[in-house]
């Protein structure tokens, strides 16, 4: 039974990590458009991807 | 829910023999030849090809519920007023889009806008149907960008994002509470299952107490955080000396959490932490769904209203003109009303001769001539020539205000409607509390008070109206979503319940059963060449009959040298003499040659030729007949009330087969008639769109308005539907009937489950695992039962 002493904190830490990840995703707007995001992937092709914005340059 | 992929055209064909579909919007076309159903679609197709975005056509799939992607006939108003300028030279705007079908539409709109050099962000949200735009430059660019969206075939409506932020913040707070409750429920349940499996068995009391303490550590903060929405509402209700569903919930949650903590402290065998956490989780699911659907629908309805209140153009003393909100006008101001604009205020014409369409005010389908000195009312449409209007009255003294007063009076008279769930809760809560008290007292006589309290709390937990809290919102959310996708907005939370109860449907005529605009009747002697000639004159006028002529002969070119004489007709000077198009008097036709309905007609008089008559009809909405017969099949009593002329109303009533009809009814009389019908015990559904319908819409048991109605009606109506199809009325009734049945079934389930579980709880036989299983079982039953509504019938 002593295993519980570290297993419970590990389980809780994993659960908390999930909760924090969810709250982060919520805050950053990942759940704002569930219908559109699913379809977007069908239309993105390399030619459509826009030139990177000025503040974010791609590595050469 | 994603768009259903169908390759078939989205609307059922009106004619059985369809030879082609429009290449842009996919609408079926009965006639051969031509690739497009209208010039707007041809333009949109050319525009998309010009941008190089043809891939849209290959990738799209139609959503049968959405509006066809057909460019709007009339461009929407001035978007620049709604654009917000940021300090750094950029401006932003949120638009609500009508006509989105699938991800291809999203892609098309975003790509087309990004071709515009000024645009920095263009992002469409398919769920909320909003487009967020940011660009470099002045707010004026907004109009150009909005035009781009419209040219693609979508209707865009500027949207005031600031107005909505409050409700979406509340929604997010609920979602956060839901996440925390979910986390707590899952983890505490994990520990509880271990306790139930291991004790009494290999697990010793020390381990069990440890697990109880860990559960308390997780559950108590989570309950304190996730329970706030319920506690707040319960306190508010108690403060107002009322009780609602949240009172027994809060009492159950707090007592159960406190008792479990007490049991843990004295190392007792039973703790209910997992039940409390799960209870909160399920209730928050119901609460969140409820809030989300309602918030979305409400904001959509709100912004439709906001846009309808178009600004007025004020002419200042120095001759400059300025766009201002109608609310800031004062008596004595001079307002410019261009042809085709709605008159924003009550006043009198100070300059200009024109005709005004009063159909929204009193249901009259024919325009009236106005000249300097004529009185005009807010809501009339100026059809012929620019007018200058001197504002006579603002605020309280306008005709509009009078109608609003009438509406407020009937609304006060209407008994305050209580949602079904609250009605149930009102009886339920005291019963539950009495039952718990009785259990406590009964057991206190029989043994120690701790055991009695534990049993009383088990009663509270078992009866916590978890399934009841889900029963109504889940059914309503699914119904709302289904209607929203069909372009029907439910504005009132109790509308579905009330729609389920009605047995009489009262229709307005102009703009409700009919399209509210006249169309040429293609019968009789008019030759195509004559029609073209008439249309070439008519092209110079915005009078509804002239525009109908132009629609009937789209190939006609505008003639030169045509003059418009408001209220009379048009004239063209030619070498042979004057050609005249217009009323009977204008063309000098003696009254004796009357043939039938004397009002909707135009005459064409040419030198040396017999005068020619064009007859018009206010066309019925395409499926008015079908809707009426379906309503009859549902066993509803139908009544037609209109402010229009006797003959026009009689013809429509006869054509649709509505036996009860009254013409020339004033707004007050409409109200009175409704009251009369209601006093006979009937529940009335009012469908109307005009200012004259406003009080009647408010007085009816429940009311529906098309989105083409004036803002006042949309405010008064419980349901607003978009598009030309009247099918919305039967669709709403059908969904209301099914959701009403579901809600009753759900409440039945919840009560049945209580009847089974409460005796066990009173007898002291309910253990934590039994409570948890019963609770989730009933909630899941209710949700699964409600999901049936989402399926397409």
Q: Which residues contact A7 (CB under 8 A, 6 or more apart)?
A: none
CB pairs under 8 A between A and B: 71
CB contact under 8 Å between B128 and A18, yes or no, is no
CA neighbor of B160 nearest in space, from B56, B320, B307: B307
Which pLDDT score, from 0 to 100, does residue B3 have?
40
CATH number of B312-397: 2.70.150.10
Question: Which of A16, A23, A36 is closest, CB to CB, to B106?
Answer: A36
Q: Which residues contact B782 (CB under 8 A, 6 or more apart)?
A: B467, B470, B471, B474, B746, B749, B750
B365 pLDDT tier (thresholds 50, 70, 90): low
- Residue B337 contacts A where some CB pair is shorter than 8 Å: no
Residues of chain B positioned with their CB less than 8 A from the CB of A16 = 183
More confidently predicted of B211 and B415 = B211
B712 pLDDT tier (thresholds 50, 70, 90): low
Q: How far is CA B574 from the centre of its chain?
A: 52
A20 pLDDT tier (thresholds 50, 70, 90): very high
- Residue B173 contacts A where some CB pair is shorter than 8 Å: no
Which pLDDT score, from 0 to 100, does residue B308 have?
46
Place of tokens 């008596």: B331
CB contact under 8 Å between B126 and A35, yes or no, is yes
Q: Which residues of B are catalytic?
A: 508
Q: Which helix (H) or strand (E) holds B91?
A: strand B90-98
CA neighbor of B603 nearest in space, from B595, B615, B592: B615
Which pLDDT score, from 0 to 100, does residue B434 have?
87
Which residue of chain B has the CA closest to A34? B127
Which residue of chain A has the CA closest to B125? A33
B38-92, pLDDT tens digit by residue?
777 888 888 888 888 888 888 787 766 566 777 776 555 566 767 777 778 888 8
Tokens (6 digits) for B548: 């109908």
Which pLDDT score, from 0 to 100, does residue B307 have?
44
Q: How far is CA B264 from the centre of its chain?
A: 52
Separation in Å, CA of B303 to nearest CA in chain A? 19
Residues of chain A positioned with their CB less than 8 A from the CB of B55 = 43
B17 pLDDT tier (thresholds 50, 70, 90): very low
Length in residues, chain A: 60
Which residue of chain A has the CA closest to B55? A43
B208-253, pLDDT tens digit by residue?
888 899 999 999 999 999 999 889 988 988 888 877 777 878 888 8
Dist. CA B327–CA B332, nearest whole Å:
14
Report yes or no: B566 and B354 within 8 Å, Cβ to Cβ: yes
Which pLDDT score, from 0 to 100, does residue B11 have?
43
Report yes or no: B332 and B345 within 8 Å, Cβ to Cβ: no
More confidently predicted of B241 and B640 = B640
More confidently predicted of B155 and B304 = B155
CB contact residues (below 8 A), chain B span 37-76, against chain A: 55, 59
CB contact under 8 Å between A8 and B175, yes or no, is no
Highest mean pLDDT among B113-127, B291-305, B331-345: B113-127
Dist. CA B455–CA B748, nearest whole Å:
25
Which pLDDT score, from 0 to 100, does residue B19 have?
55
**What value, to the nearest 5°, has the Cα angle with vertex B554 and ends B64 and B566?**
110
Separation in Å, CA of A58 to nearest CA in chain B? 18
Mean pLDDT along residues B338-360: 78
Which residue of chain A has the CA closest to B188? A12
β B719-721/B702-706 pair status: parallel
**Of B8-22, B30-44, B255-269, B468-482, which range is least confident?**
B8-22
B12 pLDDT tier (thresholds 50, 70, 90): very low
A40 pLDDT tier (thresholds 50, 70, 90): confident
What Rg value do the Cα atoms of chain A yield, rounded? 20
CB contact under 8 Å between A26 and B210, yes or no, is no
CB contact under 8 Å between A39 and B172, yes or no, is no
Q: Which CATH number fits domain B1-159: 3.40.140.10, 3.30.565.10, 3.30.70.100, 3.30.160.250?
A: 3.30.70.100
How high does pLDDT run on average in chain A? 73
The sign one gets for the Cα dihedral B655, B656, B659, B663 is: negative
B184-214, pLDDT tens digit by residue?
999 999 888 888 887 677 778 888 888 899 9
A 10 A CB-CB count for B409 gives 13
Q: How far is CA B262 from the centre of its chain?
A: 51
CB contact under 8 Å between B128 and A43, yes or no, is no
Report yes or no: B110 and B122 within 8 Å, Cβ to Cβ: yes
Q: Which residues contact A23 (CB under 8 A, 6 or more apart)?
A: B176, B179
- Residue B168 contacts A where some CB pair is shorter than 8 Å: no
Report yes or no: B396 and B367 within 8 Å, Cβ to Cβ: no
The 3-state DSSP class for residue B104 equals: helix
Which pLDDT score, from 0 to 100, does residue B227 have?
92
Mean pLDDT along residues B151-168: 68
**Of B32-41, B222-231, B752-761, which range is least confident?**
B32-41
Dist. CA B411–CA B327, nearest whole Å:
24
CB contact under 8 Å between B106 and A8, yes or no, is no
Place of tokens 């009964």: B442
Question: Which of B103, B104, B179 is closest, CB to CB, to A19?
Answer: B179
**Of B74-88, B218-232, B424-438, B677-691, which range is least confident?**
B74-88
Separation in Å, CA of A56 to nearest CA in chain B? 14
Tokens (6 digits) for B642: 């209109």
Mean pLDDT along residues B24-30: 72
Query: Residue B90: beta bridge partners?
Result: B136
Query: Residues of A near B (CB-CB distance < 8 A)?
Result: 1, 4, 8, 11-12, 15-16, 18-19, 22-23, 26, 31-36, 38-40, 42-43, 48, 50
Which residue of chain B has the CA closest to A40? B103
pTM of the model: 0.66
Which pLDDT score, from 0 to 100, does residue B327 have?
62
**Of B293-302, B310-319, B455-464, B669-678, which range is least confident?**
B293-302
Separation in Å, CA of B111 to nearest CA in chain A? 8
A 10 A CB-CB count for B377 gives 19
Mean pLDDT along residues B664-692: 83
Question: Which of B102, B107, B183 is closest, CB to CB, to A15?
Answer: B183
A28, pLDDT greater than 60: yes
**Of B36-45, B124-133, B317-326, B412-421, which range is least confident?**
B412-421
**Of A34-38, B73-77, B207-211, B562-566, which range is least confident?**
B73-77
Q: Give the residue from B100, B187, B206 with the most A CB atoms within 10 Å of its CB, the best one to mutate.
A: B187
ipTM score = 0.72
On the 0-12 / 13-18 / 19+ scale of CB atoms within 10 A, B3 is: buried
Residues of chain A positioned with their CB less than 8 A from the CB of B1 = 35
Separation in Å, CA of B22 to nearest CA in chain A? 23
Maximum Cα–Cα distance for chain B, whole Å? 115
- Residue B161 contacts A where some CB pair is shorter than 8 Å: no
**What value, to the nearest 5°, has the Cα angle with vertex B183 and ends B178 and B188?**
125
Question: Which of A22, A23, A39 is closest, CB to CB, to B2?
Answer: A39
More confidently predicted of B509 and B590 = B509
Length in residues, chain B: 793
Q: Give the residue from B106, B136, B202 with the most A CB atoms within 10 Å of its CB, the best one to mutate.
A: B106
CB contact under 8 Å between A32 and B125, yes or no, is yes
Q: Which residues contact B419 (CB under 8 A, 6 or more apart)?
A: B472, B493, B494, B497
Which pLDDT score, from 0 to 100, does residue B567 have?
66
How high does pLDDT run on average in chain B? 78
Which pLDDT score, from 0 to 100, does residue B770 have?
79
More confidently predicted of A41 and B177 = B177
- For B47, B473, B634, B724, the CA distances from B20, given in Å and listed in that order, are 21, 43, 35, 22
Dist. CA A16–CA B222, nearest whole Å:
12
Separation in Å, CA of A49 to nearest CA in chain B? 10
Which pLDDT score, from 0 to 100, does residue A59 have?
41
Tokens (6 digits) for B382: 């100026």
B782 pLDDT tier (thresholds 50, 70, 90): confident
B410, pLDDT greater than 60: no
Question: Which of B128, B175, B186 is closest, CB to CB, to A26?
Answer: B175
Tokens (6 digits) for B754: 């209580």
Q: Is the link from the previous residue into B200 a cis peptide, with omega within 30 of 0?
A: yes
CB contact under 8 Å between A1 and B207, yes or no, is yes
Question: Which of A22, A34, A50 is closest, CB to CB, to B127?
Answer: A34
β B702-706/B684-687 pair status: parallel
B177 pLDDT tier (thresholds 50, 70, 90): very high
Question: Which of B104, B127, B190 is closest, CB to CB, to A33?
Answer: B127
Query: Residue B604: beta bridge partners?
Result: B581, B612
B107, pLDDT greater than 50: yes
Q: Which residues contact B447 (CB under 8 A, 6 or more apart)?
A: none
Which letter does DSSP use for residue B509 in this model? Answer: I
Report yes or no: B652 and B646 within 8 Å, Cβ to Cβ: no
B603-631, pLDDT tens digit by residue?
888 887 778 888 787 778 888 888 899 99
DSSP string, B398-450: SHHHHHHHHHHHHHHHSPPP--HHHHHHHHHHHHHHHHHHHHHHHHHHHS-HH
Report yes or no: B373 and B348 within 8 Å, Cβ to Cβ: yes
B583-606, pLDDT tens digit by residue?
777 777 776 555 445 467 788 888
A17 pLDDT tier (thresholds 50, 70, 90): very high
Q: Where are the domains of chain B?
A: 1-159, 312-397
B142-160 burial by CB neighbour count: b if 16+ within 10 A, else e?
bbebbebbbbbbbbbbbbb
CB contact under 8 Å between A36 and B114, yes or no, is no
CB contact residues (below 8 A), chain B span 187-206, against chain A: 187, 190-191, 203-204
Residues of chain B positioned with their CB less than 8 A from the CB of A38 = 2, 103
Q: Is B633 left (phi over 0), alpha (psi -120 to 50) or beta?
A: alpha
**DSSP H helical ranges for chain A:** 4-27, 34-43
Q: Which residues contact A24 (CB under 8 A, 6 or more apart)?
A: none
Question: Which of A15, A34, A48 is closest, CB to CB, to B111?
Answer: A48
First to last CA, chain A: 56
């Amino acid at each position: 039974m002593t295993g519980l002493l570290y297993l419970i904190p590990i389980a809780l830490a994993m659960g908390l990590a999930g909760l924090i990840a969810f709250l982060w995703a919520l805050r950053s707007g990942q759940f704002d458009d569930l219908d559109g995001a699913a379809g977007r992937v069908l239309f993105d092709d390399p030619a459509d991807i826009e030139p990177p914005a000025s503040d974010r340059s791609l590595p050469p | 829910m994603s768009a259903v992929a169908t390759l078939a055209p989205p609307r059922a064909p009106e004619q059985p023999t369809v030879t082609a579909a429009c290449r842009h919007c996919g609408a079926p076309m009965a006639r051969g030849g031509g690739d497009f159903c209208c010039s707007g679609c041809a333009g949109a197709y050319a525009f998309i090809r010009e941008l190089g975005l043809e891939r849209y056509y290959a990738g799209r799939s139609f959503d049968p519920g959405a509006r066809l992607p057909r460019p709007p006939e009339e461009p929407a108003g001035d978007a620049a007023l709604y654009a917000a300028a940021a300090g750094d030279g950029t401006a932003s705007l949120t638009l609500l889009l009508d006509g989105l079908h699938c991800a291809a539409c999203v892609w098309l709109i975003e790509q087309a806008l990004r071709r515009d050099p000024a645009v920095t962000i263009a992002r469409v949200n398919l769920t909320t149907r909003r487009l967020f735009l940011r660009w470099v430059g002045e707010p004026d660019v907004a109009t150009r960008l909005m035009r781009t969206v419209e040219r693609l075939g979508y209707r865009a409506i500027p949207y005031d994002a600031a107005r909505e932020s409050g409700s979406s913040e509340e929604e997010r707070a609920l979602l956060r509470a839901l996440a925390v409750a979910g986390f707590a429920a899952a983890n505490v349940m994990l520990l509880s299952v271990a306790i139930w499996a291991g004790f009494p068995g290999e697990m010793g009391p020390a381990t069990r107490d440890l697990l109880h303490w860990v559960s308390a550590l997780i559950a108590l903060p989570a309950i304190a955080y996730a329970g706030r929405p319920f506690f707040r509402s319960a306190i508010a209700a108690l403060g107002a000396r009322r009780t609602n569903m949240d009172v027994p919930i809060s009492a159950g949650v707090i007592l159960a959490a406190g008792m479990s903590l007490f049991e843990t402290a004295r190392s007792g065998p039973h703790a209910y932490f997992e039940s409390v956490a799960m209870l909160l989780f399920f209730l928050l699911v119901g609460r969140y769904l409820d809030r989300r659907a309602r918030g979305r629908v409400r904001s959509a309805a709100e912004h439709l209203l906001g846009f309808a209140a178009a600004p007025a153009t004020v002419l200042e003393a120095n001759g400059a003109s300025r766009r201002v909100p109608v609310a800031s006008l004062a008596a004595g101001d001079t307002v410019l009303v261009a042809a085709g604009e709605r008159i924003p205020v009550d006043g009198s014409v100070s300059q200009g001769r024109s005709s005004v369409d009063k159909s929204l005010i009193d249901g009259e389908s024919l325009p009236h001539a106005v000249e300097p000195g004529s009185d005009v009312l807010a809501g009339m449409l100026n059809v012929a020539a620019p007018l200058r209007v001197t504002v006579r009255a603002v605020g309280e003294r306008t005709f509009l205000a009078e109608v609003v007063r009438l509406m407020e009076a009937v609304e006060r008279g209407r008994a305050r409607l209580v949602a079904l769930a609250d009605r149930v809760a009102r009886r339920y809560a005291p019963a539950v509390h009495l039952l718990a008290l009785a259990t406590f007292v009964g057991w206190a006589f029989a043994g120690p008070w701790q055991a009695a309290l534990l049993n009383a709390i088990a009663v509270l937990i078992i009866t916590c109206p978890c399934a009841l809290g889900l029963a109504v919102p889940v059914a309503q959310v699914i119904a709302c979503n289904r209607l929203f996708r069909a372009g029907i907005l439910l504005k009132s939370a109790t509308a579905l319940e009330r729609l389920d109860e009605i047995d009489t449907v009262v229709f307005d005529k102009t703009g409700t059963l009919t399209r509210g605009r006249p169309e040429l009747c293609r019968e009789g002697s008019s030759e195509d060449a004559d029609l073209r000639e008439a249309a070439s004159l008519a092209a110079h006028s915005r009078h509804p009959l002239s525009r109908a002529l132009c629609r009937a002969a789209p190939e006609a070119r505008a003639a030169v040298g045509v003059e418009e004489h408001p209220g009379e007709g048009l004239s063209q000077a030619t070498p042979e003499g004057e050609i005249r198009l217009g009323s009977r008097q204008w063309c000098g036709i003696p009254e004796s040659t009357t043939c039938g309905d004397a009002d909707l007609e135009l005459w064409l008089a040419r030198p040396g030729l017999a005068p020619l008559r064009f007859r018009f009809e206010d066309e019925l909405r395409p499926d008015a007949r079908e809707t009426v017969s379906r309503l009859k099949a549902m066993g509803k009593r139908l009544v037609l009330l209109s402010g229009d002329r006797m003959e026009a109303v009689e013809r429509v009533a006869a054509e649709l087969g509505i036996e009860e009809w009254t013409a020339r009814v004033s707004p007050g009389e409409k109200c009175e008639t409704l009251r009369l019908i209601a006093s006979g015990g009937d529940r009335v559904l009012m469908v109307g769109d005009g200012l004259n319908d406003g009080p009647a819409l408010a007085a009816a048991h429940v009311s529906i308005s098309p989105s083409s109605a004036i803002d006042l009606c949309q405010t008064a109506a419980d349901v607003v539907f978009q598009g030309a199809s009247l099918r919305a009325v039967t669709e709403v009734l059908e969904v209301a009937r099914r959701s009403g049945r579901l809600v009753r079934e759900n409440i039945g389930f919840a009560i049945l489950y209580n009847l089974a579980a409460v005796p066990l709880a009173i007898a002291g036989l309910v253990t934590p695992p039994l409570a948890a299983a019963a609770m989730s079982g009933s909630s899941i039953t209710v949700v699964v039962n409600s999901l049936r509504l989402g399926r397409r019938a």
